[in-house]
Amino acid sequence: MLVSWTLTHLGGEVTSLHLHHLWSRKRITMLENRGDAEELGDSVDGNSCFPRQSKAPNPPDKAGREGKAGAGSGDANRYRMDYQSIGTCVIINNKNFHESKGQKPREGTNVDADAVERTFRGLGYKIRREDDRTVGEMEALLHTVSQEDHSRSASFVCVLLSHGGEGTFYGTDAFTELKKLTGMFRGDRCKTLVAKPKLFFIQACRGTILDHGIQTDSSSDESWDRIPVEADFLYAHSTAPGYYSWRNEGKGSWFMQALCGMLNEHSNKLELMQIMTRVNHKVALDFESASSTPGFSAKKQIPCIISMLTKDFYFPC
C-alpha cells in the first residue's frame, strides 16, 4: 500500500500534520505557525537552522541467539559468527537541540530509537543508547567504544539519529564530520574489530534537495598479512547525497521504519545486502509526500547503501 504524508513548511523544516492514503486524495487544511501541531506529522532531518561552523520492552531472544552468536560455516565468503557475542549496538538519538540553534525538537525520533533498540536486541546485540548528546559527548562515546575489547564479538553496529548535511552529523550543539565518528573504527584504530563487519545506519538529511520522482511505463585467523583499514564497513544512509530525509512525528522516519521492518522479517534467512535492497524498495515505493505547500507535493526518497564489506553477512539464527 502506498503511504502518503501531508506536509507544511515550518521555519526551516518540512512538517506534516496529517497522514492519509495517497489513493484517498483527501486534502486537509494546513496550519502555518510555530505552535504545537494538533496532530503528528513529518519533518526532514536537515540543518537549515544551524550556523555553519568548523525504553521499550525487551522482546524474547530468537532461538539460538543465546551463548555463542552462531556456528562458523566454514565458508570463506561468509563472516564468522562463532564468537561469544554478536556484538554491541550503539544508538545515538538526538531529539532536542540547544535553544541558540533555533531548531525544533525532532519529534518521532524516539519512536525510531525504541524500534531500533527492540530490533537489534532481538538480534542478540548488547544495546548502548545515548540521547541528546553534544558533539564532544558523541566523539568521546564512540572513541571509548572503539577502544574497548571486541575480540569476543562478531560485529559492531552504530545507529545515528539526528539532523545532518552532506558529510556532517549534528550533536545538540553543533555539527561534526561524519567520517570523524565512523573513522574511529578503522582497522588501524580499532584492532579488535579488524576483518569484522562494522555497520553504520544513519538517519539524517544529506542536503536540501527534494526528490520529485519520475513516472515509469570476519575472521581473526585469516592468512592475509594486511587488509585495507577501510575494509569491512557498511554505511546505510537514509537518503541519497544532497537530499532531504523524511521523518514522521508519529511513526518515525521512513528509513528506520523500513529498516526495522525488513530486519525483523528477513534476518533469519537473507544476507544483509539482500535485506538492505528490500529496505530501499520499501522506502522508494511505499512512501510519498502530498502537500498544499507549493513545491512539497509528491516527493520521494531513496536510501543509499555504501558497502566495503568483503564477505556475506548473515545474522545468526
Task: Count CB atoms within 10 A of the CB of residue 2.
Answer: 10
Residue pointed to by grid coordinates 564532544: 136
Task: Count CB atoms within 10 A of the CB of residue 215.
Answer: 4
**Do the beta carbons of residue 229 and residue 184 sit within 8 Å?**
no
**Closest alpha carbon to 220 in 195, 252, 187, 184:** 195
DSSP state, residue 16:
E
The identity of residue 146, as a single letter, is S
Residue among 163, 190, 237, 260 flagged as catalytic: 163
Give the up-direction half-sphere exposure of residue 172: CA atoms within 13 A in the CB hemisphere.
16
> At residue 264, what are phi and psi to the nearest 5 degrees?
-65, -35
Please report which residue ranges of 80-163 form alpha helices under DSSP H.
109-122, 135-146
**Do the beta carbons of residue 200 and residue 235 sit within 8 Å?**
yes
**Closest alpha carbon to 20 in 258, 255, 289:** 289
Pairing of strands 42-44, 85-93: unpaired
Cα(152)–Cα(220) distance, integer angstroms: 10
DSSP assignment of 205-255: --SSB-B--------TT---S---TTTTEEEEESS-TTB--EEETTTEEHH
Catalytic: 317?
A: no
Task: Return the H-helix or E-strand segment holding 199.
Answer: strand 198-203
Residue among 18, 205, 237, 260 flagged as catalytic: 205
Catalytic: 163?
A: yes
- Which residues are marked as active site? 163, 205
